[in-house]
Amino acid sequence: MLRVKIEDPGSDAALMVAFAAREERAAGTLFERFASRIYGLGVVMLGNHQAAQDLVQDTFVKLWRTAERYDPQRGRLETWVLLTARSLAIDSLRRRVLESRSLQAVGIQPEDDPAPLPDERAAAADLSARARRAMACLSPEQRSALELAYFGGRTTAEVAALEGIPQGTVKTRIRAALLRLRDEMAKDADHDV
Amino acid sequence: MTCDEVRELLPEHLLGTLEGPEDLEVRRHLRGCSACREERMKLEEGVAALSLVVHDQEPPADLRDRVLRTLDEEWEDAGRPPASKQRGRDRSPWRAVAAAAAIVLIAGSVAFGTTQAHRASVATADAASYTNLLRALGGKEFSVGQLHAAGGSSFVGQVLVYEGDASKGWNSWATVFVKAPGYMGDATATLIGTDGEALALPSLRVSGGEAHSWIVTGDDLSGYDRLTITTPDGNVVATGAIHPA
Q: Which residue has the higher pLDDT, B48 or B169?
A: B48
The per-residue pLDDT of chain B, averaged, comes to 77
Cα B188 to Cα A86: distance, rounded to the nearest angstrom? 32
> Would you call A185 and B63 a contact, using CB atoms and an 8 Å cutoff?
no
pLDDT band at A106 (very low <50, low <70, confident <90, very high): low
B76 touches chain A (CB under 8 A): no
**Beta-sheet strands, E only, within chain B:** 139-149, 156-164, 172-179, 185-193, 198-200, 204-206, 210-217, 224-230, 236-241, 243-244
Strand B236-241 relative to strand B224-230, pairing: antiparallel
What's the Cα-to-Cα distance from A152 to each of A91, B26, B75, rounded to whole Å? 11, 23, 33
pLDDT for A48 equals 86
Q: What is the pLDDT of residue A165?
A: 93
Residue A176 near chain B (CB below 8 Å): no
**pLDDT level of residue B127 (50, 70, 90 thresholds):** very low
Cα Rg of chain A, angstroms: 19
Write the pLDDT tens digit of every residue in B66-86: 999 999 999 888 875 545 444
Instruction: Determine which of A117, A150, A158 to mutate to test the interface with B (most B C-beta atoms within 10 Å).
Output: A150
Range with lowest mean pLDDT among A117-126, B140-149, B230-239:
A117-126
Give the gap in angstroms from C-alpha A167 to the nearest C-alpha of chain B. 11
> How many Cα atoms within 13 Å fall on the side-chain side of residue B6?
21
In the prediction, which pLDDT does B60 show?
Answer: 93
pLDDT of residue B133: 60
Inter-residue contact B195 to B186 (CB < 8 Å): no
pLDDT at position B112 is 44
Instruction: Answer yes or no: do A150 and B15 touch at CB < 8 A.
Output: yes
pLDDT at A1: 36
- Residues in A 136-165 with any Cβ partner in B closer than 8 A: 146, 149-150, 153-156
Q: Name the pLDDT band for A137 (thresholds 50, 70, 90).
A: confident
CB B89 within 8 A of CB B95: no
Q: Is A171 on the interface with B (CB under 8 A)?
A: yes
Amino acid at the residue B163? E
Asked if B222 contacts B235 with a C-beta cutoff of 8 angstroms, the reply is: no
pLDDT confidence of residue A58: 96
Q: What is the mean pLDDT of residues B15-26?
A: 86
State the amino acid at position A110 in one-letter form: P
Return the pLDDT at B115.
43
| pLDDT value at residue B135 | 58
Q: pLDDT tens digits, residue range A177-188? A: 999 888 877 765
Q: To probe the interface with A, which of B22, B30, B51 has the most A CB atoms within 10 Å?
A: B51
CA–CA dist A9, B38 (Å, integer): 14
- Please give the angle made by the CA atoms of B75, B79 and B81, to the nearest 5 degrees: 60
Q: What is the CA radius of gyration of chain B?
A: 24
User: How many beta carbons lie within 10 A of that of residue B4, not counting itself?
Assistant: 8
- Region B91-106: what's the mean pLDDT? 47
To probe the interface with B, which of A8, A36, A170 has the most B CB atoms within 10 Å? A36
pLDDT above 70 for A10? no
Highest mean pLDDT among A51-65, A114-128, B38-52: A51-65
CB contact (8 A) between residue B11 and residue A178: yes
Rounded to the nearest angstrom, the gap between the alpha carbon of residue A92 and the centroid of all alpha carbons in its chain is 13
pLDDT confidence tier of residue B234, bands split at 50, 70 and 90? confident
CA-nearest residue of chain A to B14?
A: A79
List B residues 150-189 in contact with A (Cβ-Cβ < 8 A): 185-186, 188
CB-CB under 8 Å, A28 with B82: no
* Per-residue pLDDT tens digits for B165-220: 767 667 788 889 998 888 888 899 999 887 778 888 888 988 888 888 888 887 88
Alpha-carbon gap, residue B218 to B170, rounded angstroms: 7
Query: What is the pLDDT, as a whole number, of residue A189?
Result: 54
